[in-house]
Amino acid sequence: MYKQLVANVEIDSGFWKKYIDLVIDTVIPYQYEALNDRIEGAEPSYAIQNLRIAARDIEGKYNGMVFQDSDLYKWIEAAAYTLKYKSNDILEKRIDEIACLLEKAQLPDGYLNTFYIVNDITKRWTNLCDCHELYCIGHLIEASVAYYESTSKDKLLNISCKAVDNICDVFGNDKDKLKGYPGHQEIELALIKLYNVTKNEKYLELSKFFIYTRGTENPNYFIEEWKKNGKKREFGLNDIKPMLEYNQCHVPVYDQKVAVGHSVRAVYMYTAMADIARITKDEKLINACKELWDNITQKQMYITGGIGSTNIGEAFTFDYDMPNDTIYAETCASIGLLLFANRMSLLEQKSEYADIIEKILYNIVIASMAQDGKHYFYVNPLEVFPKASKLNPTQFHVKPERQPWFGCSCCPPNVARILASLHKYIYSVTEDTVYVSQFIDSLLDCEIAANNINIKQNSELPWKGNIKLNVLLKKASEFKLALRIPSWNIQKPKLMINGKEIAFIEKNGYAIVDRIWENNDVVDFEVTVEVIIMESNPLVKKNIGKVAIQRGPLIYCLEEVDNFSNINEAVINVDTVWKETSMDISSLEVVVLIDRKSVV
């Protein structure tokens, strides 16, 4: 574990700036229209309508999923991050108007959830297993923290604190309090963010309560809750006893060694566990996080960074069970894994965490969204047979094309908030080291040993392996610069300073240079971007005889539209020399791979 210092980062050009601009100019406005049910041909959201009903602005009945509030909160978080890049009075006004609606809807005691406020407030906190009250507040917290950090406006933050104060009054170890925890984890990691901003210890303690209580009680809280409710549940699950592994409450978190159950819930919880482990220095919890990390990334993760191999419960199944055609791999699950990777990197600075973040960013986050910013994959398939998607009930969830919006639309605003907050994942700064973990055009402004340090990064990834860093200083400074050596790099990287090649120390997957830096020092770091033929672990039975094609951080796909029908009959010559050709696709320059002789 190490102390991470505050750093300011701006993405100012290059490959990823196009996506930032897409989020600012298209995604945020489009999603606002979707949340207001104004996208023709798309499923309605009802999120803002429900809020207006709860605020008594209009009359009506609640519509949508029980967690519909969270879509709006994730959109606010994404919108708040974009204000770091571009001021927008209209966008701020929209967020402020939503804050006013939330303030009107919030009950005097702080409770805030439109599903219960509109339907039946007497039933609040009676179905934690299914009804997502705590999950929704978690996303409200994240939104309010992001908006406060971007604008210094505290109305949303005050609404969140009031809601959490109410939760502190309801939940805890005291005799008269509920000993429950969320059916869908999220508030636990959000509470850490709220604690970081407010320094209020009770928010940290509440997060710890939700994590440490989970799976410790006998009989289990969800089972007793179900019985108390007359064995009635949401989502048509009446008479179906809550599945404890599905909710990761089958054993205490210390004893969870294998990722099980709903994949999004799992990785959100693991993210909070890593946060708490870092803050409290709980070695037993740290070890549990490491074991869970290894299990997911070594035995239950697709080559793209997708997780959750079955649509039944959107869940993990068992080690090496990785079907390609009935895959689930929800976008939100990979985003949760990205968050888990980020928190693990705060426990120990190892390149494997940054490698997974990079893999997910390129192959799930931006791949799940069309270049127009208006169509999305909820499920991220590795193999698609369009006829089966239409006619085979086991593959209805696998879509051959991205969709304009979903009734359960958790993924699109999740993509938006990750892209809008991308600057948070590029660098880590400690008391003596600047870690460059993602190769993204950006400007870093930080301070080490009372010296102000600026680093301007220009990267040619994902198409080429040239990375240049300009070090800008007011005075000479001694510190370490650590550059990630990507897992896909198959040759030793070349590192030059001011045109002269130098040796470096390799530690935990980083190339480290320790020196006294001068103003305008130029670092050139060159990694190898070339085609690699990837094979699965032989225990993945579905992939025996199959390979994947990777170039740099990108996993390539083979499509009938570019080749021929019955693409499943393709045979790849693994020894071929691929022809690499630049091509413009949807205003994005890409490198495509061509070898006519190897595909028959």
| Whether residue 210 has pLDDT greater than 90 | yes
Q: Estimate the share of the chain in helix, then strand, then coil, as percent rounded to the nearest 5.
A: 40, 15, 40
List residues with catalytic annotation.
314, 410
**Cβ-count burial of 370 within 10 angstroms (0-12 exposed, 13-18 middle, 19+ buried)?**
middle
Q: What type of residue is 163?
A: A
Q: Which domains does the chain have, with CATH numbers?
A: 11-424 (1.50.10.10), 427-526 (2.60.40.1180), 532-598 (no CATH)
For the stretch 13-23, what's the b/e string if a residue is b when 16 or more beta carbons lie within 10 angstroms of its beta carbon?
bbbbbebbbbb
For residue 376, what is the DSSP state?
B
- Higher-confidence residue of 374 and 468: namely 468
Confidence tier at 4 by pLDDT (50, 70, 90): low
pLDDT of 599? 47
**Residue ranges of the alpha helices (H) in 379-450?**
386-391, 411-420
408 — pLDDT class (breaks 50, 70, 90): confident
Question: Residue 331 and residue 329: Cα distance in Å, rounded?
Answer: 6
Angle at 535 between CA 534 and CA 541, to 5 degrees: 150
Strands of 494-497's sheet in order across: 7-10, 442-448, 451-459, 466-473, 521-526, 494-497, 500-501
Residues 6+ apart with CB under 8 A from 423: 9, 10, 11, 84, 442
pLDDT band at 600 (very low <50, low <70, confident <90, very high): very low
pLDDT at residue 42 tops 90: no
Report pLDDT for 468: 98
The 427-429 sheet, strands edge to edge = 427-429, 433-436, 477-484, 510-517, 505-507
Q: What is the mean pLDDT of residues 251-264?
A: 97
What mean pLDDT comes out for the span 373-378? Answer: 87
The span from the CA of 379 to the CA of 332, in Å, is 9
pLDDT digit string (tens) for 78-90? 999 999 889 999 9
Highest mean pLDDT among 413-417, 461-465, 595-599: 461-465
Question: If you average pLDDT over every residue of the chain, what do you get?
Answer: 94
How many angstroms separate the CA atoms of 220 and 215, rounded? Answer: 7
CB 479 within 8 A of CB 433: yes
Instruction: Work out the average pLDDT over 542-555.
Output: 95
| CA–CA dist 137, 180 (Å, integer) | 15
| pLDDT confidence of residue 546 | 93
Distance between CA atoms of 462 and 405, rounded to whole angstroms? 29
What is the radius of gyration, based on Cα positions, of the chain? 24
Per-residue pLDDT tens over the stretch 176-191: 999 999 999 999 999 9
d(CA 257, CA 485): 28
In which element (H, E) is residue 343 found? helix 331-347
Token duo for residue 177: 């309090």
- For residue 131, give the nearest of 66, 214, 181 by alpha carbon: 66
Work out the pLDDT band at 6, boundaries 50, 70, 90.
Answer: low
Q: Give 515's strand partners.
A: 479
Whether residue 431 is predicted with pLDDT greater than 70 in this model: the reply is yes
pLDDT at res. 568: 83
Predicted confidence at residue 272, as pLDDT, reads 98
Joined tokens for residue 538: 């032989």
Share of the chain above pLDDT 70, in %: 97
Residues 6+ apart with CB under 8 A from 432: 448, 449, 479, 480
In three-state secondary structure terms, 381 is coil
Express each pLDDT in 147-162 by its tens digit.
999 999 999 999 999 9
What is the spatial distance between Cα 240 and Cα 328, in angstroms, rounded to a whole number? Answer: 23
The predicted pLDDT at position 596 comes to: 55
Confidence of residue 47 (pLDDT cuts 50, 70, 90): very high
Residue 437 near residue 428, CB atoms below 8 Å: yes
CA–CA distance, 432 with 242 (Å, rounded to integer) = 49
Say yes or no to pLDDT of 393 above 50: yes
Angle at 407 between CA 405 and CA 409, to 5 degrees: 60
CB 271 within 8 Å of CB 307: no
**CB-CB contact of 472 with 444 (8 Å):** no
Name the residue with higher pLDDT: 498 or 578.
498
Distance CA 558, CA 266 (A): 32
Q: Phi, psi (5° rounding) for residue 248?
A: 55, 35
**DSSP assignment of 16-77, as one string?**
HHHHHHHIIIIIHHHHHHHHTT--TTSPP--HHHHHHHHTTSS-----S-TTHHHHHHHHHH
Mean pLDDT of 419-426: 96
